[in-house]
């Protein structure tokens, strides 16, 4: 392991090292669709198999819920962009400058520059979660301290800091123009919005039309909740805007709530969907949790996002979404639906047929992908050449190989700091 002095030198050099790297595929930087990769299961495949699935699916962004080193390392040299989670239990620690700098140095710096990390999400649904009373006071200080730690490490322009909220932060969401935040949360949300405006980071929301439909199936049309393109839509009497799907309405409800809470910060804050999905199975009382509905919803999410359009309130801001989730996770607590949001089973086979193909510019590979019973899956399990998963394209492999060469050189230099006693100034002149 590098010494403390070597690590400090690495943190100082990271911006220069990042500039030396070949650019990742243009598709990755422009992709609007991502997927959440949860790992609450005891039968999940190795993380090293995941980039292969993503390549054929056509997804170039992944949201992680922690900073597990092996999982992050699995995405090295792939061009896949990561959102790395700072778990709830770490919030108190990273809410101080020293703790935040230590966390960045231990969990983020070692992964760079091989792995592309774009965001840190500080906690998940902290303000409305079961531990909100004990954790909420740490949320903003943790975001600020982590942002400062990244800036001090020269990474502030490469990695942004945000947090993901449950739609429960809204006191009301319908119609969208009448939405506003819960009054008890305003003392925390208003300064968080100021932070986003200053730092240029997005406001993330976990938005699930499924919950709205399941709670009131007679009052919410299934086609509207499933984002079916042929649905007539719903008018907002307050704004006069027309919503053809519920996801856009939920996003605009958040925009309206932000404007009502903090009009000064609102123009600078973009809303992104950090989770959305539909379960393929559920308990008897979980209306609509079927493979057919899950296939329709997730296919429509992919189609909607691939259009590159915004919402009625923000038509010029393309909708950015992370689907939930990559795998069914058999150890998640709660109702049956919680364990059945995955697009894939743990053995790598699709849970259901999802025939929609993302366009080429939304993928890191040379061709779009789809979730189907065939499409490259060889059915041989983990003993096959590609581990039983979809194969990765030749174009991606070529990019990975060329990038890996430079990454190897960089990390050989880093790992040799102590052995060779390389002078920092000499190394910096060499790199330039």
Our answer to whether residue 223 is catalytic in this structure is no
Q: Domain tally for the chain?
A: 1
CATH of the domain at 94: 3.20.20.80
Range of the domain at 307: 4-431
Q: What is the pLDDT of residue 399?
A: 37
The residues, any chain, with a CB within 8 Å of residue 187's CB and separated by 6 or more, are none
pTM of the model: 0.78
Indicate which residue of 275, 286, 338, 353 is catalytic.
Answer: 275
Our answer to whether residue 26 is catalytic in this structure is no
Q: What is the pLDDT of residues 335-389, one digit of tens each?
A: 999 999 999 999 999 999 885 767 655 544 323 333 332 222 222 222 222 222 2
Q: Can you name the residues that pair with 162 across neighbouring β-strands?
A: 121
With 0-12 / 13-18 / 19 or more C-beta atoms within 10 angstroms meaning exposed / middle / buried, residue 237 is exposed
- What is the rounded CA–CA span in Å between residue 119 and residue 121? 6
- What is the rounded CA–CA span in Å between residue 396 and residue 222? 39
Q: Which residue, 301, 321, 344, 302, is CA-closest to 52? A: 344
Indicate which residue of 81, 125, 223, 329 is catalytic.
Answer: 125
Q: What is the pLDDT of residue 360?
A: 56
pLDDT lower than 70: segments of the chain: 1-30, 355, 357, 359-432
N-terminal to C-terminal alpha carbon distance within the chain = 25
Q: What is the pLDDT of residue 377?
A: 21
Q: What is the pLDDT of residue 192?
A: 98
Q: What is the pLDDT of residue 58?
A: 85
């Amino acid at each position: 392991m590098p010494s403390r002095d070597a690590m400090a030198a690495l943190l100082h050099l990271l911006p220069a090292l990042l500039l030396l790297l070949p650019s990742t595929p243009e598709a990755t930087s422009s992709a609007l669709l991502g997927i959440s990769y949860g790992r609450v299961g005891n039968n999940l495949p190795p993380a090293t198999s995941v980039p292969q699935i993503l390549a054929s699916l056509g997804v170039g962004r992944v949201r992680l819920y922690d900073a597990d080193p092996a999982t992050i390392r699995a995405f090295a040299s792939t061009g896949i962009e990561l959102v790395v989670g700072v778990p709830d239990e770490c919030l108190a620690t990273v809410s101080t400058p020293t703790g935040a700098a230590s966390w960045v140095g231990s969990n983020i710096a070692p992964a760079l520059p091989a792995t592309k990390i774009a965001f840190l999400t500080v906690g998940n649904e902290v303000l409305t979660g079961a531990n909100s009373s004990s954790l909420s006071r740490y949320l903003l200080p943790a975001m600020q301290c982590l942002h400062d730690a990244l800036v001090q490490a020269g990474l502030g322009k490469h990695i942004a800091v945000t947090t993901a909220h449950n739609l429960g932060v809204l006191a009301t969401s319908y119609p969208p123009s009448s939405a506003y935040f819960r009054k008890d949360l305003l003392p925390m949300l208003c300064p968080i919005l100021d932070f986003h405006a200053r730092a240029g980071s997005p406001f993330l929301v976990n938005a699930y039309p499924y919950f709205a439909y399941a709670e009131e199936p007679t009052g919410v049309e299934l086609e509207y909740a499933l984002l079916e393109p042929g649905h007539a839509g719903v008018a907002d009497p307050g704004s006069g805007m027309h919503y053809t799907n519920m996801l856009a309405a939920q996003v605009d409800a958040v925009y309206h709530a932000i404007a009502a809470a903090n009009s000064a910060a609102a123009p600078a804050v973009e809303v992104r969907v950090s989770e959305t999905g539909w379960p393929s199975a559920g308990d008897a009382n979980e209306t609509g949790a079927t493979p057919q509905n899950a296939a329709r919803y997730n296919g429509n999410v992919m189609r909607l996002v691939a259009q590159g359009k915004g919402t009625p309130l923000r038509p010029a801001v393309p909708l950015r979404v992370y689907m939930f989730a990559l795998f069914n996770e058999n150890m998640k607590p709660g109702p049956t639906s919680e364990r059945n949001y995955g697009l894939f089973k743990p053995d790598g086979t699709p849970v259901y047929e999802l025939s929609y193909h993302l366009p080429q510019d939304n993928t890191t590979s040379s061709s779009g992908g789809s979730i189907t019973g065939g499409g490259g899956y060889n059915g041989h399990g983990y003993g096959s050449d590609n581990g039983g998963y979809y194969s990765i394209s030749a174009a991606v492999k070529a990019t990975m190989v060329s990038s890996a060469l430079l990454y190897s050189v960089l990390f050989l230099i880093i790992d040799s700091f102590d052995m060779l006693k390389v002078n920092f100034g000499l190394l910096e002149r060499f790199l330039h």
